[in-house]
Amino acid sequence: MSIRDEKANTRLVHLAASYIAREAGRNTLITPTRADISKDRRNATVFVSVFPEDQADHAIAFLTRHRDLFKEYLKKEGRFSMLPRVTFMFDAGEQHRQRLDEISKNI
């Protein structure tokens, strides 16, 4: 991964975090953990963690409904050479990492 790709991923995560903080309700904590922009820069996936975890489906549905508004926000704030089509996914990797941390503490 090039430095340019890393910067784009980091910028997308920060913009997603600021948008979610502004638009999401206060009942659920939605945190963007990482982003993955395709090589052609047409598609991007933002992975999020959700607390409480039983609200993950609602959080992903909320983010999917707001995809167009988030795209408008990216147009205004993003400064991407090509605006990617963003999809949001639950970050199961983060959930597995937390579980491994719990297990390692018990050893």
Domain ranges in the chain are 3-106
One digit per residue, the tens of pLDDT, for the chain of length 107 reads 789 889 999 999 999 999 999 998 888 999 999 999 999 999 999 999 998 888 999 999 999 999 999 999 999 998 888 899 999 999 887 778 778 888 888 88
CATH code of the domain occupying 3-106 = 3.30.300.20
How distant, in Å, are the alpha carbons of 69, 71, 84, 87 from that of 42?
A: 17, 13, 4, 11
Angstrom distance (rounded) from CA 49 to CA 33: 7
User: What is the structure's pLDDT at 27?
Assistant: 87
